[in-house]
């Protein structure tokens, strides 16, 4: 009666053999599914867990989104100021060198970066298309700047490159362009190459400044290597900021608008002509000064040659008078007159108001 009642109520007795046979296959299915999932997970982990790193690459692993640190590693020497150092203080993470194969767990993620030197145009911008970079010079002239930069990922600053900013190269290009525009806006010729120096002008300060200031775009064109060197020095902090090291800055073109180019050519021609005229006048003046100095030196030598015998005679007469007295001096003068009379051809003597002229042979006139 009780068994019939349970059967009528739809209740299955687990002690009955047919019920045990029905439950056993369901457990086997569950165990098979678990085994298959485990095998598939292991196969997937083995298939995707091994990786290699090329010679021009460096890799970083993250576990559950956290980069693996290097305990006890000293950070590289910083070039940032104290304020910037607090803002860009990044941890030192472990870098995976080239080689392999390496293994990573499924909960780890691999980040690779190429450390080879690459190049990019100054006009590169993922947000817009542009053919040149506009910059305003010191004389309020809008110019177009073109060029390239060479860069590479810094091996010692991989954390800011992978995790510091979303697009490191875009930030580096923006930083470079902003520094470049600021430099162009305040650039002056460091050599101070004016037409005339301040000492040679000898005039007011305003006139000297007007000639020496010049046109800033000409100064920029003449000093492109200096501008490139300045940009490289200003970008020494980019590895600590964005993880990208600037290798070289190559600014190749600084062009004004077309309507201004002709005016600048005329200005350059005029300045070159004025500089040539000043150089010619300076050379002529220097030549005249040199000739005058030589003429004065020659006249001085001639005068010294004429005065030297007189000084020698004066010293001789002084010595004779000091050693032999007035009589000795009179005798010396008489002897000198005799030798002088022996070489004369005509003698004019005045005596008692009468004048006679005698030749050397004794003939009187």
For 102, phi then psi, to 5°, come to -110, 165
CB 186, CB 152: distance < 8 Å: no
Q: Judge whether 243 and 158 are in contact, CB under 8 Å.
A: yes
Residues of the chain short of pLDDT 50, as ranges, are 1-10, 12, 20, 193-198, 200-213, 353-365
Whole-number pLDDT of residue 319: 81
* pTM of structure: 0.57
Q: Which residues contact 241 (CB under 8 A, 6 or more apart)?
A: 80, 84, 88, 160, 164, 171, 175
Q: What is the pLDDT of residue 24?
A: 55
Q: What angle do CA 329, 335, 336 make, to 5 degrees?
A: 90
Q: Which stretch of DSSP H or E encloses residue 85? A: helix 82-87
DSSP H helices, 214-257, are 216-222, 224-234, 238-242
Structure tokens at 351: 């005596």
The pLDDT of residue 224: 83
Q: What is the pLDDT of residue 292?
A: 92
Integer Cα distance of 192 and 201 in angstroms: 14
Q: The domain 120-155+163-256 belongs to what CATH superfamily?
A: Band 7 domain (3.30.479.30)
pLDDT for the residue 289: 92
């Amino acid at each position: 009666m009780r068994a019939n009642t349970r059967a009528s109520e739809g209740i299955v007795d687990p002690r009955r053999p047919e019920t045990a046979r029905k439950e056993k296959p369901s457990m086997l299915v569950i165990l098979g599914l678990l085994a298959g999932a485990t095998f598939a997970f292991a196969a997937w982990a083995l298939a995707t867990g091994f990786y290699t790193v090329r010679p021009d690459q460096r890799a970083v692993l993250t576990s559950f989104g956290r980069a693996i640190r290097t305990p006890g590693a000293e950070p590289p020497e910083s070039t940032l100021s104290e304020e910037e150092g607090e803002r860009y203080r990044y941890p030192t993470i472990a870098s995976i060198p080239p080689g392999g194969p390496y293994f990573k767990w499924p909960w780890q993620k691999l980040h690779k970066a190429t450390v080879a030197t690459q190049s990019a145009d100054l006009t590169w911008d993922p947000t817009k298309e542009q053919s040149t970079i506009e910059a305003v010079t010191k004389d309020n002239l809008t110019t177009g700047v073109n060029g390239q930069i060479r860069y590479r990922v810094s091996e010692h600053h991989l954390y800011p490159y992978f995790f510091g900013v979303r697009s490191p190269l875009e930030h580096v290009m923006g930083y470079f362009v902003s520094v470049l525009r600021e430099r162009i806006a305040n650039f002056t010729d460091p050599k101070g190459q004016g037409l005339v120096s301040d000492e040679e002008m000898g005039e007011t300060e305003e006139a000297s400044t007007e000639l020496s200031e010049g046109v800033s775009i000409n100064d920029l064109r003449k000093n492109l290597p200096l501008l490139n060197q300045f940009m490289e020095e200003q970008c020494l902090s980019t590895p600590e900021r964005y993880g990208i090291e600037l290798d070289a800055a190559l600014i190749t073109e600084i062009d004004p608008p077309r309507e201004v180019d002709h005016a600048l050519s005329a200005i350059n021609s005029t300045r070159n002509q004025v500089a040539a005229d000043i150089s010619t006048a300076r050379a002529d003046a220097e030549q005249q000064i040199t000739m005058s100095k030589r003429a004065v030196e020659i006249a001085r030598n001639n005068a010294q040659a004429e005065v030297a015998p007189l000084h020698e005679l004066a010293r001789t007469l002084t010595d004779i008078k000091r050693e032999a007295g007035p009589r000795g001096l009179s005798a010396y003068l008489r002897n000198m007159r005799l030798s002088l009379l022996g070489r004369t051809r005509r003698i004019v003597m005045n005596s008692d108001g009468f004048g006679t002229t005698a030749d050397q042979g004794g003939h009187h006139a």
